[in-house]
Structure 1
């Protein structure tokens, strides 16, 4: 069956990209992270080589597979679908087309001589050439129809935290202010010991995805304390890059932020689902998301080893990164913003 498919590679042609995106829009397995805008952002901001493959049958697209090549002396050489994203792998409604593109990806991985191929599926696969590793889970829930119903649906203890935040004289604004989002996020991840992305990355995401991307910022006394950059796609809201400053914990401003985002997305964007993204299993973020009442759903990431002898482990919990994390937490924020992008381009 797979012999009938024709393999194609996405170039820079706008009409070809539009056909790809139209296909992603039309199928259930197509996610925001399969859209061609990610190719343009990753190429322009990070300079990585993108290998976007798609299969056609009778001149119609039947499957797409975004792949990005990352090559680093420190973190290795990988072919990933897709870095900086939660979901990836083949988007198709055909098992045969999916298998065809997976096998083409494996062949490409060997041709490029990478250490490993990684495909970030949210569901299981049955390709014997792939090895599954479930180390992350996603979280989310259906959005109720009113702010009161959304609040009532939050787990009791976390609902009390949100109610507390509503009494802290916080305000919020929704705009295109990626600079504030970056400033807050960069300080937040510095505190966690994680290198931050380049500032132009946030601006590029907004420029590329337009109305499907915005920023919600929480202020206290006209000063930003929490901020989140979110995506909107297929009636879902995806808060993707969020964080808070030192005062955020006491003010409960992150809790306030996510609640207000739920209300905004439901009322103004007609969203019916809140996708809280992925977290490393049993991490602090994992436990925090469960406090809202959301149950974890395992992400079935698939790997094919080429030169590597073992599955990769770039987790912050990896002992070999602990010294680096502790040192990074001590850096001045301005310095972390200066040197972080040289490392984060390989950590998506």
Structure 2
């Protein structure tokens, strides 16, 4: 499949071709040069995805053998949602990466063709930036990001006094914090999986986190908060170019009185400042939720999530339903299940949902 620009002397140079199966090195080299936050577009995600039996599909557009656009995709099948082609599951922003509008069109056409070939009902794109003229799937999901400072003390002074007091309360209560290598996932997983059960949501597997750490050893770190020697809060961070991302973090709810999350997040933010990073990505939240208010109190800026859903004819779909209402009973039942059971069932569910 090709697309040509309007006639002109440079037309031969700008002929575009949709391709598949690029080399990992070529793909990653392009991604690193195309964005300051390349991690979620890296071709290496095929390894963690394989922990769930999922395959990373890769589409590229080339101009004279030079990559000018990429699109990573994963096919998921479930009884509830049918079969979907997603870029990428569990990730806030992946999707089409290109500065060329014609390349974007080719990649979209390629995704729709691949969806049809694989028998998918729809394509979900989670874009790092808005696509002009497109309507987002939902408008209640927002991204939260905080600009950092090279001096953590200057960042500390920017916080609301209430935030600083809660950090001090945690410290006075005996909560300690520590940064560990990314391979130290066991303590993090114990807290994360327990908290996800208490929230009524399925959790990833320990194997998945180990694969993430093994795939991105230079980028992955685990941060823990302890009380009386026990890990009661933990977060797994990934260095994403000039930004630090925290895609997974949890604390044990019975210790909320100790302001565990405030101690943990201040530790991570301070660590990010001292590491020379420019910003901290808190991840996505539902507007006006408890998570939203927690992240906002640190001074994080809000931005919409550019999530788009299309059927296989390329027609946009908008979802106005509330997952909380749709799955309310399932959430309440999940909270009552034994932790050993949710740790076994969770990965089998989460591998099928985006």
User: In 2, Cα distance between the equivalents of 1:182 and 1:21?
Assistant: 29
Q: Which residue of structure 1 lines up, in the alignment, with residue 245 of structure 2?
A: 238
Distance 1:231 1:314, change over 3 A: farther
* Rounded Cα–Cα distance in structure 1 between residues aligned with 2:73 and 2:48: 13
In 2, Cα distance between equivalents of 1:315 and 1:99: 31
> How far, CA to CA, are the matches of 1:161 and 1:277 in structure 2?
21
Runs (5+) with no aligned partner, structure 1: none
Distance 1:166 1:338 in 2: 35
Tell whether the 8 Å contact from 1:82 to 1:120 is kept in structure 2 after alignment.
yes
Q: Which residue of 1 aligns with 2:290?
A: 284
Q: Match of 2:169? A: 164
Q: Calculate the TM-score normalised by the size of structure 2.
A: 0.90
Q: Deviations over 1:319-345 (max 9, x none)?
A: 231100000001111111111111111
Query: 1:7 — aligned with what?
Result: 18
Deviation at 1:34, TM superposition (A): 0.3
Tell me the CA shift for residue 95 of structure 1: 2.0
- Do structure 1's residue 98 and structure 2's residue 99 form an aligned pair? no
The CA deviation at 1:132 is: 4.4
Structure 2 residues without counterparts, runs of 5 or longer: 5-14
1:225 is aligned to: 232
* Partner residue, 1:151: 156
Within the candidate set 216, 238, 262, 2:223 is matched to 216
The 3-state SS of whatever aligns with 2:203 is coil
The alignment's C-alpha RMSD in Å is 2.2
Which residue of the other structure, out of 20, 34, 41, is the alignment partner of 1:27? 34
SS at match of 1:250: helix
The structure 2 residue matched to 1:138, chosen from 128, 134, 143, is 143
Q: Contact 1:187 / 1:333 at 8 angstroms: preserved in 2?
A: yes
Give the superposition deviation at 1:51. Answer: 1.5
- Please say if residues 215 and 227 of structure 1, whose CA atoms lie closer than 8 Å, have aligned partners that are also in contact: yes
Q: Which has the larger radius of gyration?
A: 2
- Asked whether the 8 Å contact 2:37–2:240 carries over to 1, the reply is no
Structure 1 window deviating more from structure 2 (185-194 vs 329-338): it is 329-338
| Cα offset, 1:288, TM superposition | 1.8
1:346 paired to 2:352:
yes
> Do structure 1's residue 196 and structure 2's residue 238 form an aligned pair?
no
